[in-house]
């Protein structure tokens, strides 16, 4: 029994290291199921970061859709479990169905349209995209967009949100 466990442990180590126990030939590395939606993504600090001038993307869950340029980003959320703060008097349109970041300041959207259905790419978990000083990161917890110059931004998720 101990010999069998040792064999299993060696087999597991071999498969993890990309080697074969049987003939010494290397085991082929798995290929990604799809290429990055932002073709020249490079490794960043834990995220793959793509530099762009503009992008319209969605989260992998398709619940958050964002439009990013070098001066602003707007993200709409389709389903949420939270409520936005009270609608300001000067907003005569739909309030709080997303967030935006412009001129280093983040706030809720006041919009008469939606970004739903406009995404041309998916920003996979662990990837990020940057236009100018605005960077958006996709994680299983949220889509977070920050103006790296001001440090202000937002995190948007089904369960919660954050303005900073």
**pLDDT (tens digit per residue) in 61-87:** 999 999 999 999 999 999 999 999 999
102 Cα distance to chain centroid: 19
**pLDDT (tens digit per residue) in 90-149:** 999 999 999 999 999 999 999 999 999 999 999 999 999 999 999 999 999 999 999 999
pTM, 2 dp:
0.72
In sequence order, what E strands does the chain have?
A: 42-43, 48-51, 54-58, 64-69, 72-77, 94-102, 105-111, 121-122, 127-131, 134-138, 143-147, 153-156, 161-163
Q: Where are the domains of the chain?
A: 1-27, 41-163
């Amino acid at each position: 029994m101990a010999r069998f466990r040792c064999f299993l442990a060696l087999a597991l180590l071999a498969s993890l290291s990309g080697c074969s126990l049987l003939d010494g030939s290397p085991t082929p590395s798995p290929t990604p199921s799809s290429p990055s939606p932002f073709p020249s993504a490079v490794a960043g600090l834990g995220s793959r970061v793509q530099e762009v001038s503009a992008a319209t993307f969605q989260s992998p869950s398709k619940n958050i859709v964002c439009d990013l340029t070098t001066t602003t980003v707007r993200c709409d959320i389709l389903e949420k479990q939270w409520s936005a703060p009270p609608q300001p008097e000067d907003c005569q349109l739909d309030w709080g169905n997303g967030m935006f970041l412009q001129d280093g300041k983040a706030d809720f959207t006041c919009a008469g349209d939606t970004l739903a259905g406009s995404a041309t790419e998916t920003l996979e978990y662990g990837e990020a995209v940057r236009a100018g000083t605005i960077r958006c990161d996709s994680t299983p917890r949220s889509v977070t967009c920050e103006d790296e110059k001001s440090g202000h931004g937002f995190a948007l998720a089904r369960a919660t949100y954050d303005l900073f």
